[in-house]
Amino acid sequence: MSTNKFPCAGVRALHAPTRRDFLYSLGASLGSVAFSSLLAAQEKQGHLPAKAKNVIFLMMEGGPSHIDTFDPKPLLDRMHLKEFTREGQQKSAMESGKRYYVRSPFKFIKAGQSGADMAENWSHLAKVADDLCFFRGCTVDSVNHPTAMYQMNCGNRFGGDPGIGAWINYGLGSLNQNLPGFIVLPEVSYPQGGAANWSNGYLPAQFQGTPLRPKGSPILDLSPPAGITTEHQRKNLDLIAQLNQSHAAEHPYHDELTARMDNYELAFRMQMQIPEVLDLTNEDPATKTLYGIDNPSTDAFGRKCLLARKLVEKGVRFVQLYHGSWDSHDYIERAHDNLVRGVDQPIAALITDLKQRGLLDSTLIVWCGEFGRTPDNGVRGGTAYGRDHNPNAMTIWLAGGGCNAGHTIGATDEFGMQAVEGKAHIRDFHVTLLRLLGLDDNKLTFYHGGRFKQLSQFGGTVIKDLIA
C-alpha cells in the first residue's frame, strides 16, 4: 500500500480546502455550482500511459464452469463417475451421498488461428477467438456467492467498499458530462449481494454505479410531468441550488450534499441525451440482427450488449452487464447450454461491432463469474450431473483495450481443480485492469478509516502476460 500522503490526483487532503470550497465562497450563484460540478466530473490524467479508455464488464453471476466452457479436461472422460475421495482413491460407484468425477457434456474445438479452446456451443464467439485473451490462473477466496461477488466487484469479500467502476471513475473522471460515468445493466432480480456490487463505498457518492431498469422505463422520472417545461425545471434547480449552496457554505466537507447537488445537475442534463442513447428503434436492422435482437433466446442480453456499445460510444467510462443463473449444481448440460445460447451471439456481436467502429482498441471487455467449478459433484438420480463452487480455478477472458489477444495465459491441473501455472489472485487481476487504463493501484487511493485504501486492499502485482 502506498505511503505517499497525497498519492493521486483526485485524492484530496483530509482538511485542505479544495477548488469546490473556493468556488462556494464566491457566492450563491448557480454558475459556481454548475462549474464546480464540471470540475469534479472532468476527465483526468492517469498515472501511466493507458491502453484503454472504457470498460465493458460482462458479469456471469453464479460461477460459469471453466471445465465446460474454455478449459477442457480430457482426463475427466476416463474418470467419469469414479468416486472422488480425499485420499485420492477412485472407484466405480453410483451410490447416493457420495461424490464423483463428472466429465463435460460438451465437445471442445480449437478456434481461430490461435487455437483457443472452446466448447463447441460457443459457435459465434469462436469466430472472434483471436480477439480474446484467456486467463486460466485466477483464484479467489470465497465459495459463497455474495462474498465472492463482492470480492470480484469490489476487492473485498464483506461489502461496503467501492466497486471497480467507482474506482475507475474516481481516478479518471468522466468522458461525457451528460451521462453517468458508471452504468450498470442488471437483470430484474439483482445479483447476490444486491446494489452493494456497484456501490461507491467510502468514495464520494457521485462515483456509484447507476443501474438501468431492465423492464419499463430504464430510469424512473426521466421525463418531466405534463405541463412542466425545461424552463420550469431550470428555475426549480436554481432555487434548490441556492438553498443547498447556502447550507454547503457552512458545511464544505459534507460530501453527501455535494453529491446530491451534482446529481441534480447531471439528472437535468441526462434528460437531454439519455433518451436517444437508450432508444434502439433507430438502429440499423442489420445491427439488431447481428446482436440477436427479437430472437427469443438472445433478445434480452443482445439489447444489453448493443446498449453497452452505444454507452461507451457516448463516453460512459464503465458499463457492467449482468447475466445470471450460472450456478449449475445439477443438469449442467441443459443449464449451461441454454445460458451459452443466450449470450454467445450478443457477445460476439459486441466485439465485432466495436471492432468495425474502431472502438475495440480503446474498449476493454472483461468476461467472468465470481468463481469456477469443481470437476466433481454428487450424482442425483444417476443423470443430473453438475458441479460445485471452486475458488481455486476459474477462467476469465479479455478482449480489446490492450489485452494480449490470441493467447491463453495460465493453466489448471489435469482435473481443473487448481490453478497451477500463471496463478494469480483476483487482486492481481484488478491491478492489471487498472494498469490497462493507465492507473496505478498504489496511487489510486482514498483516505478512510484512518488509512489510505485501494481497490486491491493491500497491493497486488500486474499480470504482465495479460498485456500486449
> Taking the chain, what is the end-to-end CA distance rounded to the nearest angstrom?
26
* Structural domains counted in the chain: 1
Q: How many CA atoms lie within 13 A of 184 on its CB side?
A: 25
Which pLDDT score is estimated for 98? Answer: 76
Residue 209, C-alpha cell as written in the block: 454505479
Low-confidence ranges of the chain (pLDDT < 70): 1-42, 85-97, 217, 219-224, 230, 232-235, 237-238, 253-255, 257, 259-273, 378-383
Which pLDDT score is estimated for 286? Answer: 97
Cβ–Cβ < 8 Å for 313, 359: yes
CA distance 423 to 93: 34
Answer whether residue 235 is part of any domain.
Answer: no
How far from the centroid of its chain's Cα atoms is residue 99's Cα?
34
Which pLDDT score is estimated for 1? Answer: 41
Answer whether residue 240 is part of any domain.
Answer: no
CA distance 382 to 327: 20
Answer whether residue 244 is part of any domain.
Answer: no
The residue range of the domain holding 361 is 47-219+273-466
Which pLDDT score is estimated for 28? Answer: 31
Query: Residue 133 in 3-state DSSP?
Result: strand
Considering the chain, what percentage of its residues have pLDDT values greater than 70? 79
Which pLDDT score is estimated for 53? Answer: 97
Which pLDDT score is estimated for 85? Answer: 66
Which pLDDT score is estimated for 178? Answer: 87
Residue 122: give its domain's CATH number: 3.40.720
Answer whether residue 67 is part of any domain.
Answer: yes
Which pLDDT score is estimated for 34? Answer: 39
- β-partners of residue 322 are 59
Answer whether residue 369 is part of any domain.
Answer: yes
Task: Annotate 431-460 with DSSP letters as a single string.
Answer: HHHHHHTT--TTTS-EEETTEEE-TTSS--
CB count within 10 Å of CB 223 equals 11
Which pLDDT score is estimated for 215? Answer: 78
Answer whether residue 31 is part of any domain.
Answer: no
Answer whether residue 277 is part of any domain.
Answer: yes
Answer whether residue 30 is part of any domain.
Answer: no
Which pLDDT score is estimated for 5? Answer: 35
> What are the tens digits of pLDDT across the range 15-59?
344 444 433 333 333 333 333 344 445 678 899 999 999 999 999
